[in-house]
Chain A
Amino acid sequence: MLSALIIIPFVSAAIIGLTPLSGKNPRNFAILTAAIILTINLFVCLQFDFQHQGIQFAQDVAWIEWIGLNYHVGIDGLSFPLILLNSLLTLIAILATSPTIQRPRLYYAMLFLLNAGAVGAFLAQDLLLFFLFYELEIVPLYFLIAIWGGTRRGYAAMKFLLYTALSGILVLASFLGLVWLTGETTFDYEILRSHTLPLASQLWLLAPLLIGVFIKIPIFPFHTWLPDAHVEASTPISVLLAGVLLKLGTYALLRFGVGLFLEGWVYLAPWLAVLAGISALYGASCAIAQRDMKKVVAYSSIAHMAYILLAATATTRLSMTAAVFQMVSHGLISAFLFLLVGMVYQKTGSRDVDYLRGLLNPERGLPVTGGLMILGVMASSGLPGMVGFISEFLVFRGSFPIFPIPTLMCLVGTGLTAVYFLLVINKVFFGRLTENLAQLPPVQWKEHAPAFVLLLLIVAFGIKPDWVTHWSEVQAIALLTGG
């Protein structure tokens, strides 16, 4: 069943890419496939056993014996929420894509390859398999940015490619070292977890893994590729990048950093917590200085991803659950914000904070977009009643008793979130609508449908947070106890 989640996107990528579909067919086919994938996900969701510790629906087939690569896939409470998020956001990204996009066949094929890569990485229970999918996702995303991006897309895409490839190499080096030091001949996650290495060797292996993962998340000072990539990527790609692909980094952090090198992780945790605090403050202060709405969201993404690192450093049951929660919540909120910024850009042709004015004007502006944007900003800065509040509360509640100073730094970062987003909202949506922005094309409800779906989830999870938390509670303990 889980293999279908990998195979379907691959096959549909091949079908879309290689068969002569024309007109609207590629898009319709893509929507259909994405809907099927989401349905399968929901079906898996119904059968998921929340009390079960360890992986479920496992499938273990020897693939390439000579290097100990097994096709070992499975899900647990840590990965499945992210897989759901991935399927949902893929569908939303396809819906948010303009029906008249250039070279649709290549576009949708790449989108499905990306989806397959991300799902495969989340499913993989074998380190080498994880690495394989982790690398696989790079090339499609490169093309998605480089072909359908903005004016400096070539530069941004190449920067993304090189940074991420380097991150993959570092992760691989850490994996190779782990297998060598444990003396195993397999890359199987469970088997490698059963070994406990001395602290010194754990630190040696953790260091490259952390740097590799920090590039992906990204954590200051390895973040420089992200603002470029976000600004140049088109809206659906930004949604996927922020919503899913950055989560690969934090997922690897929890799964491999905490899961395999717990002792080393705890040893480094105080420093990492400080780094998380710095990253959060840095992201927030950079966001204040930006003039481009998309860059504001991108930097806020850096700040919010740092909370996950903070939660992971605390290594308590609560904070682990909070880390997963924050991943889901950030995935939803940042996707939501990127969709709205994309909508503003599509209608006005600009994302410049100094140029846009009074878009909330009910007659000639974009009132619905503006209203949604305000809700999104509220969610992002953690107002109660929405998912952002719960996740940030859990993160800070979990980490404050252990690392008070870094938590305070992150709290300041949260405060700054309200500052920079309100600055943006104030400039862009309030005030008088300037003449050159009058008579904007009206936004149809259909175009806003994806955003409404996300909003619904944001509010629903804000009111019923245990819908998310009960996925990962059991697994969070398992991760910390080595069970």
Chain B
Amino acid sequence: MDFSSSVASQLHAGTILPEGIVIITLMTILVGDLIFGRSSSRWLPYVAMFGLFNSIVALFFQWNNPNAIAFLGSFSGDNLSIVFRGIVVLSAMVTIPMSIRYIQQSGTSLAEFIAIMLTATTGGMFLCGANELTMVFISLEMLSISSYLMTGYMKRDPRSNEAALKYLLIGAASSAIFLYGMSLLYGLSGGETNLNIIATKITAINGTQSLGLAISLVFIIAGIAFKISAVPFHQWTPDVYEGSPTPVVAFLSVGSKAAGFALAIRLLVTAFGSMTEQWHFIFTALAILSMVLGNVVALAQTSIKRMLAYSSIAQAGFVMIGLIAGTDNGYSSMIFYLFIYLFMNLGAFTCIILFSLRTGTDQISEYAGLYQKDPLLTLCLSICLLSLGGIPPMAGFFGKIYLFWAGWQAGLYGLVLLGLITSVISIYYYIRVVKMMVVKEPQEMSESVKNYPAINWKLAGMRPLQASLIFATVVTSLAGILSNPLFTLSANSVNSTPILRSAIITQEITQSTIQVSSVEDLIN
């Protein structure tokens, strides 16, 4: 029929090919598990990784896709979304080999876990490109609900249950608040759901001053801040990090957070383009709180997972500097940092998984003297933690420099100085763990390390763990020194994304006037 073919040609369904691949992989995993039963867990993870890898390849070929706007404006496959989808897929792909041994040792079904993880990945990917309110909501919930399930995956562990319940209740409440904000946005724009049209309608109807719009902005930011765990919407983070299975935490800390940032950029820059000043103000407050509270509370933690939870809150604060900067460099420094954060954080979590597999504990004090027993683990964890702390020449240093540099160029001096000072604080707690492992004498060794089992990589599921550990560590140590390709990637994605182009141009005009006046102030 004529009608259907014309619609089909406008859909550009090929744009979601990467998601399609992930969904097919998901189906394969489910069906494979049903047909072959438990024995399939030997090869299913590799199927999943293969599928995710193909998805990355598909993303690669979609670069500069001419038909970026798919499904009549619901989904945008522009380069920005490609990069963020890449981060989400990559984080799932690195997380799966970490989880094989962990899940098997806990005696639960691996295939189901991977299936839920892939669902979350699909949700995260759709969220990165969602360009329409319904789409945003559905993909957000797809990511959230599968995250709740993964958090509570250890059914018999009351801590996992409790973490899942807390996560679910806070998450559902925040998504209800987010949704309320979206419903107001729908009404204020006169019944539009496409973000771009909303933006034009809102400026046409309301101008920039409207109480309803302000309320909707605050509500929507509350929902986003929950996803990226910015203070004061962070309360779930430490509990969930501590209670849930460590591979899940690794995925949440990177994949889910990256999707949240993608959502933040798209929603705020397009739909709230007319209220840039207001949301910059709110995010400045969130960034200050996150950096200060995250870094300071992390000092007091005794469990390494909880410490990394607060560290991830603080890192979100750093990334927000790029968002607030709102320049080319600002956005591309966010992407750059998230890439680097992916590897260093996943590397750190791999080490934690390995340690807890061998000793069954996550207490920082139990790491004492690990250097004597397991030099490889010590080296990798030290590199990843030092990188998180921003010590050169590790990748994290370059990521942070770039963020601060972008923020400084955009005139956020106070924020950058605060970031610099809090990153000195953060060095303290990262190095505390390193000190525990390296500095302690043999006689100060903890009980767990004394009873450390012989290192055996032959056990089922240990090889992939080792591979992802070494991969993450090598990338963490080299990505900074050889960072030009990564930088080009993130800069290109920002440069070639239409929604950011228009936003940046208006931004730059105001920025340059501010800069000129502030330079004059300084000179006089």
A200→B424 contact, CB < 8 A: no
Give the docked Cα–Cα distance between A128 and B417 (Å): 17
**Per-residue 0/1 for B436-466: is the Cβ within 8 Å of any A Cβ (1 yes, 0 no)?**
0011000000000000000000000000000
**Interface: B509 (CB within 8 A):** no
A64→B487 contact, CB < 8 A: yes
CB distance from B382 to the nearest CB of A (A): 9
**Interface: A275 (CB within 8 A):** no
B408→A162 contact, CB < 8 A: no
**Interface: B4 (CB within 8 A):** no
- Closest residue of chain A to B386 (Cβ to Cβ) is A139
A146→B424 contact, CB < 8 A: no
Give the docked Cα–Cα distance between A161 and B430 (Å): 12
**Per-residue 0/1 for A125-152: is the Cβ within 8 Å of any B Cβ (1 yes, 0 no)?**
0001000110110110011001100000
Give the docked Cα–Cα distance between A352 and B524 (Å): 56
CB distance from A399 to the nearest CB of B (A): 32
Interface size class of B (residues with CB under 8 A): 20 to 34
B431→A161 contact, CB < 8 A: yes
Please indicate the chain B residues that have their CB under 8 angstroms from the CB of A198 in the complex: 523
Residues of B464-492 contacting chain A, CB below 8 A: 483-484, 487, 491
Please indicate the chain B residues that have their CB under 8 angstroms from the CB of A139 in the complex: 386, 391, 431
Please indicate the chain B residues that have their CB under 8 angstroms from the CB of A180 in the complex: 408-409
Please indicate the chain A residues that have their CB under 8 angstroms from the CB of B398 in the complex: 64
B435→A146 contact, CB < 8 A: yes
**Interface: B170 (CB within 8 A):** no
B424→A162 contact, CB < 8 A: yes
**Per-residue 0/1 for B412-445: is the Cβ within 8 Å of any A Cβ (1 yes, 0 no)?**
0000110011011001100100010011000000
**Interface: B401 (CB within 8 A):** yes
**Interface: B405 (CB within 8 A):** yes
B524→A176 contact, CB < 8 A: no
B439→A146 contact, CB < 8 A: yes
Most buried by B among A65, A66, A166, A172: A66
**Interface: B404 (CB within 8 A):** yes
Please indicate the chain A residues that have their CB under 8 angstroms from the CB of B401 in the complex: 67, 128
- Provide the main secondary structure of the chain A interface: helix
Most buried by A among B408, B439, B487: B439
**Per-residue 0/1 for B206-230: is the Cβ within 8 Å of any A Cβ (1 yes, 0 no)?**
0000000000000000000000000
Given A66-B487, A66-B491, A147-B438: A176 touches B408 (CB 8 Å cut-off): yes
Residues of B370-409 contacting chain A, CB below 8 A: 371, 386, 391-393, 397-398, 401-402, 404-405, 408-409
Please indicate the chain B residues that have their CB under 8 angstroms from the CB of A173 in the complex: 416-417, 420
For chain A, the count of residues having a C-beta within 8 Å of the partner chain is 33
B402→A165 contact, CB < 8 A: no
CB distance from A262 to the nearest CB of B (A): 18
- Closest residue of chain B to A167 (Cβ to Cβ) is B424
**Interface: A449 (CB within 8 A):** no
**Interface: A154 (CB within 8 A):** yes
Given A172-B420, A173-B420: A201 touches B484 (CB 8 Å cut-off): no
Please indicate the chain A residues that have their CB under 8 angstroms from the CB of B431 in the complex: 139, 142, 158, 161
**Interface: A204 (CB within 8 A):** yes
**Interface: A181 (CB within 8 A):** yes
**Interface: A2 (CB within 8 A):** no
**Interface: A169 (CB within 8 A):** yes
CB distance from B340 to the nearest CB of A (A): 13
B487→A135 contact, CB < 8 A: no
**Interface: B204 (CB within 8 A):** no
**Per-residue 0/1 for A424-449: is the Cβ within 8 Å of any B Cβ (1 yes, 0 no)?**
00000000000000000000000000
- Closest residue of chain B to A185 (Cβ to Cβ) is B409
B439→A143 contact, CB < 8 A: yes
A169→B421 contact, CB < 8 A: yes
Please indicate the chain B residues that have their CB under 8 angstroms from the CB of A135 in the complex: 391-392, 397
B519→A169 contact, CB < 8 A: no
Give the docked Cα–Cα distance between A432 and B386 (Å): 53
A204→B522 contact, CB < 8 A: yes
Residues of A169-205 contacting chain B, CB below 8 A: 169, 172-173, 176-177, 180-181, 198, 200-201, 204
Please indicate the chain A residues that have their CB under 8 angstroms from the CB of B491 in the complex: 66
**Per-residue 0/1 for B497-524: is the Cβ within 8 Å of any A Cβ (1 yes, 0 no)?**
0000000000000000000000100111
A64→B484 contact, CB < 8 A: yes
Residues of B161-182 contacting chain A, CB below 8 A: none
A201→B522 contact, CB < 8 A: yes
Please indicate the chain B residues that have their CB under 8 angstroms from the CB of A146 in the complex: 435, 439
Given A64-B487, A162-B428, A180-B408: A132 touches B397 (CB 8 Å cut-off): yes
A132→B435 contact, CB < 8 A: no
Most buried by B among A154, A166, A169: A169
B423→A67 contact, CB < 8 A: no
Give the docked Cα–Cα distance between A138 and B408 (Å): 25
- Closest residue of chain B to A67 (Cβ to Cβ) is B405
- Closest residue of chain B to A183 (Cβ to Cβ) is B519
A147→B409 contact, CB < 8 A: no
B393→A136 contact, CB < 8 A: yes
CB distance from A443 to the nearest CB of B (A): 28
B524→A200 contact, CB < 8 A: yes
Give the docked Cα–Cα distance between A270 and B283 (Å): 44
- Closest residue of chain B to A199 (Cβ to Cβ) is B523
Please indicate the chain B residues that have their CB under 8 angstroms from the CB of A181 in the complex: 519, 522
Q: When the two chains form the complex, which single residue of A66, A147, A169, A204 contacts B420, counting CB atoms closer than 8 Å?
A: A169
B391→A154 contact, CB < 8 A: no
**Per-residue 0/1 for A297-317: is the Cβ within 8 Å of any B Cβ (1 yes, 0 no)?**
000000000000000000000
Give the docked Cα–Cα distance between A133 and B371 (Å): 26
CB distance from B281 to the nearest CB of A (A): 23
B391→A138 contact, CB < 8 A: yes
Give the docked Cα–Cα distance between A143 and B398 (Å): 23
CB distance from A76 to the nearest CB of B (A): 24
Give the docked Cα–Cα distance between A158 and B519 (Å): 38
Give the docked Cα–Cα distance between A278 and B417 (Å): 30
Please indicate the chain B residues that have their CB under 8 angstroms from the CB of A67 in the complex: 401-402, 405
Give the docked Cα–Cα distance between A204 and B420 (Å): 17
A65→B484 contact, CB < 8 A: yes
A154→B439 contact, CB < 8 A: yes
Give the docked Cα–Cα distance between A287 and B439 (Å): 31
CB distance from A169 to the nearest CB of B (A): 4
Most buried by A among B420, B519, B524: B420
Please indicate the chain A residues that have their CB under 8 angstroms from the CB of B386 in the complex: 139
Give the docked Cα–Cα distance between A69 and B421 (Å): 22
B523→A165 contact, CB < 8 A: no
A-B contact list, 11 entries, CB within 8 Å:
A65-B487, A106-B371, A132-B392, A133-B392, A139-B386, A142-B431, A154-B435, A158-B428, A165-B427, A173-B417, A200-B524
Top 5 closest A-B pairs, CB basis? Answer: A169-B420, A132-B392, A66-B487, A165-B424, A146-B439
Given contact pairs A132-B397, A201-B522, enumerate 14 new A-B contacts (beta carbons under 8 Å): A66-B491, A133-B392, A136-B393, A139-B391, A147-B438, A147-B439, A161-B427, A162-B424, A169-B421, A169-B423, A176-B416, A180-B408, A181-B522, A198-B523
